[in-house]
Structure 1
Amino acid sequence: MWVVAQAPPETPVGPEFGKASPVGLFILVVLGVVILGIGYAFHRRLSRFNRRRLFAEQHGIDPFDREAIDAAMEEAGLRDLSRTSYL
């Protein structure tokens, strides 16, 4: 037996049907800005991590030894961007 999908017999009609409020657009814009902000923060954090990892590998330091990396970067005169706040 085949069942064909049909609209309910009484569908909403009228001048207000299908219109979204401006609040919905505002929510979408805010969510878009939040997603872009999270993506930007993640990119900065990942870039810093890669920079510190490459520095540690070049200098023969364990990449997970934060104190040793901080001290070596300070000694090399590099500004440690991982300690700055981005928010």
Structure 2
Amino acid sequence: MTISTTVHAAALNAATTVDLLLAQGPSDGPVGPEFGKASPIGLFILVVLGVAVLALGWAFYRRFTRFRRRAMFAEAHGIDLFDEAAVDKAMEEAGVFDRRRKPFL
């Protein structure tokens, strides 16, 4: 063997070793049979967040529907939409005033 072949083989061996070391992930992380399993509290949190999103969407839909109905009534009768007292009075006289309890949201 010549010196250049030996140097080339040693450099190739060192490069392969470096590549193998870089390709491996850290081995000191959490491992074992319990790693990666979710706890029941995580499912509970997801369910609570889902219920909260649905409740907020339902509350928004109710408010938007009432607003749209009032806006259409005010426009049809030539009343300023932002004059709440006038719109309420006109809707009550027309018999379409919504007497249901107003939502807290």
Band of TM-score, shorter chain: 0.7 to 0.9
TM-score normalised according to structure 1 size? 0.84
Q: Any stretches of 5+ residues in structure 2 without a counterpart?
A: 1-21
1:11 and 2:29 correspond: yes
Is contact 1:61-1:69 (8 Å) kept?
A: yes
Stretches of structure 1 that go unaligned for 5 or more consecutive residues are none
Does 1:51 find its partner at 2:86? no
* Aligned residues: CA RMSD: 1.9
- C-alpha distance in 2 between matches for 1:46 and 1:66: 16
Trace 1:1-87 onto structure 2 (pairs within 5 A).
7-80=25-98, 84-86=101-103
Tell me the matched-pair count.
Answer: 83
Largest Rg, 1 or 2: 2
> What is the aligned-residue identity percentage?
64
C-alpha distance in 2, partners of 1:9/1:69? 70
- 1:5/1:79 CA distance change after superposition, 3 Å: farther
Q: Using CA pairs under 8 Å that are at least 6 residues apart, name the structure with larger relative contact order, 1 or 2.
A: 1
**Between Structure 1 and Structure 2, which shows a larger proportion of helix residues?**
2
- TM-aligned CA deviation for residue 5 of structure 1: 7.9
CA distance in 2, matches of 1:6, 1:39: 47
AA aligned opposite 2:60: F
